[in-house]
Structure 1
């Protein structure tokens, strides 16, 4: 595929595959690895199982990267999803759009953000309503919607230089606020669950129930650096979509690899002063996980879109094409485990007891992929 052909592609296959790879670990991959680790006790599976748990506070595991990687991917998609609206208006860049055209796009973005916020509260148990005080309003889907929305506002109104200034300002501003603004009873720069400014603002302003009673990992203040995570994706998307003849697809993929390593190094350095912490979504966390997000994107892009090896990624494409739908199903909206047990339970009971959890986990994956394949073949996608 030539560089120009790649630039015209409005949907990167590697991006759908990476989105599916990311979502796979949430919907069923972690269950399979945990079962294999327990059954086999093999060091490789034990290590992978340990990586599929969140860190309690400071530090990082692979599982901590899944959510920000998804938000990063949403940012990468933005220049592609808005491409037609920009070109139809006779513009080369989003910030060149007229005010009336931008307002039209804003309304669509706002609608998507509101729907994601609502679906996030549904996943939290809205329909089991037990009073506002027992309802958790912050959510993973809500943060994706809000951070993506504000990143989109920046993308539509500033050129690349301005977007970079916003990115730096968000991360530096969040760091300064967390380190310099005193919290009553704790003082400034206290980065504990109880004493951090982020937790204090959640207790003060966030309605309903917090995830950890005194803190919410998807709270108000930490949504600000999450916008930076989405912007990193926007930067990558603009670069991949560029038609500059100096940058072949291979060179683009390799530069993404280098940029990822640089961000990981910068995040590690900042960790010395502002610890890498997913629950606080610290600025060092944004850089560090953003670096790994670029590495994942580069690898998938080089293998799938550059080298053309695509067939192996088809199961991930199935997941990535309907990611929100399967996420909500996995979060309890549909009992796929019951369906898997109904179909495969009779056969699984003949396996040795210690291996039965492994086959149960595999049966859930089979049911999920079968459902997703049916939707994919019939072009049924949950679009928000």
Structure 2
């Protein structure tokens, strides 16, 4: 689990390598085009490797919950104390997410669509459902996905039907954008859906420089509801891990669950029922990304726990055991480290292979500094927990 989490956080930090710069410098290179594609989010529907970072992190929160609850139960903590801790963790995650998003703003930037705030908003419900049996968890997952889908389908912006007379130019979306859908799927179009309408009300309750009209990426606060579904999938995976099943049976369950999730998500998409869109965390996305999360968990479980090939994963474990630390480091001091490199060494060392590779090399050097900080913390058993 730590190696999987470390892999996810390394993917997040690796944005510093700026593969898109090399793709721009070498537009005919399929190699750099491939890496650039998977280091960025898709424009709307679909999935890249980068798109799996947030669902994996959310999935692993669900995986970790039973271990956390068991540890607190072993300390004879009452339900009230455990729930109070869950609420405190939720609040800290929400506030930390807002703080990190506000670091380059002139005032507090109230936003609730980033990874930490999304998890924080759903965590108390995850904790409560974690106290129920597996049947209740599966029923809750089904209810969340169906209710979220139905709410989107029943909503239309004003008196207009998305995809027909709705004025997309007012919400930052070109009228001829190729990602537009028609029919039932149009209810999930960018900045013309239920989640967008909710944020036009909700986010304007907070102090802002100007009224909120739309999110440029189409991200939304209400995504925390289906994100809870992703965490519930992780919760169920954790229960299988702790159930005493044989390694072969565990792997079989992970692989089957992954296949069912992937097939379900794709089927909903191609049938025109619900698109696979991460930015608003559609039910099809929950199933599709959840399928990948089960398969990734199966991979790390097989290689590390079953095959006992662990030495290669040590750097990932170092990162994974301090996931909050690396998340904060990347958001707070990446520019400081890069500026310091240029101040003390200039640009020349990072242009040794040519100017096109400068961002790649300075990004790699910055990742190296991050790793040294985490390795130092690991050696001294300093782990940031919330």
Scaled to the shorter chain, the TM-score interval is 0.7 to 0.9
Deviation at 1:35, TM superposition (A): 5.3
- SS of 1:355's partner is helix
Once the two structures are overlaid, the 10-residue window that deviates more, 293-302 or 341-350, is 341-350
Deviations 1:56-104 (CA, angstroms, capped at 9, x unpaired): 2222222221111110011111111211233555xxxxxxxxxx82211
Structure 1 residue runs of 5 or longer lacking an equivalent are 1-14, 90-99
Aligned pairs for 1:45-64 (under 5 A) are: 45-64=32-51
Tell me: CA distance 1:49–1:211, structure 2 relative to 1, closer, same or farther (3 Å): farther
Aligned pairs for 1:136-285 (under 5 A) are: 136-156=111-131, 158-187=132-161, 190-206=187-203, 207-208=205-206, 213-215=213-215, 219-243=220-244, 247-271=245-269, 272=271, 273-285=273-285
- SS of 1:214's partner is coil
Aligned counterparts of 1:211 and 1:231: Cα–Cα separation in 2: 35
Aligned counterparts of 2:306 and 2:318: Cα–Cα separation in 1: 20
Does 1:289 find its partner at 2:327? no
Once the two structures are overlaid, the 10-residue window that deviates more, 198-207 or 336-345, is 336-345
Tell me: CA distance 1:211–1:168, structure 2 relative to 1, closer, same or farther (3 Å): farther
Aligned counterparts of 1:154 and 1:348: Cα–Cα separation in 2: 51
- Paired residues of 2:14 and 2:367 also in contact (CA < 8 A): yes
Equivalent residue for 1:10?
A: none
Equivalent residue for 2:93?
A: 116
Deviation at 1:339, TM superposition (A): 4.2
Equivalent residue for 1:359?
A: 361
Deviation at 1:347, TM superposition (A): 3.7
Deviation at 1:265, TM superposition (A): 0.3
- Normalised to the residue count of structure 2, the TM-score between the two structures is 0.84
Deviations 1:167-212 (CA, angstroms, capped at 9, x unpaired): 1100011011111234323348522223211111111223346998
- SS of 1:285's partner is helix
Aligned counterparts of 1:315 and 1:340: Cα–Cα separation in 2: 23
- Normalised to the residue count of structure 1, the TM-score between the two structures is 0.84
Aligned counterparts of 1:344 and 1:301: Cα–Cα separation in 2: 42
Equivalent residue for 2:7?
A: 21
Tell me: CA distance 1:194–1:284, structure 2 relative to 1, closer, same or farther (3 Å): same
Does 1:104 find its partner at 2:106? no
Tell me: CA distance 1:38–1:379, structure 2 relative to 1, closer, same or farther (3 Å): farther
- SS of 2:221's partner is coil
Deviation at 1:312, TM superposition (A): 0.9
Deviation at 1:363, TM superposition (A): 0.8
- Paired residues of 2:112 and 2:221 also in contact (CA < 8 A): no
Deviation at 1:213, TM superposition (A): 3.9
- Paired residues of 2:16 and 2:364 also in contact (CA < 8 A): no
- Paired residues of 2:15 and 2:39 also in contact (CA < 8 A): no
- Paired residues of 2:21 and 2:356 also in contact (CA < 8 A): no
Structure 2 residue runs of 5 or longer lacking an equivalent are 163-183
Deviation at 1:110, TM superposition (A): 0.6
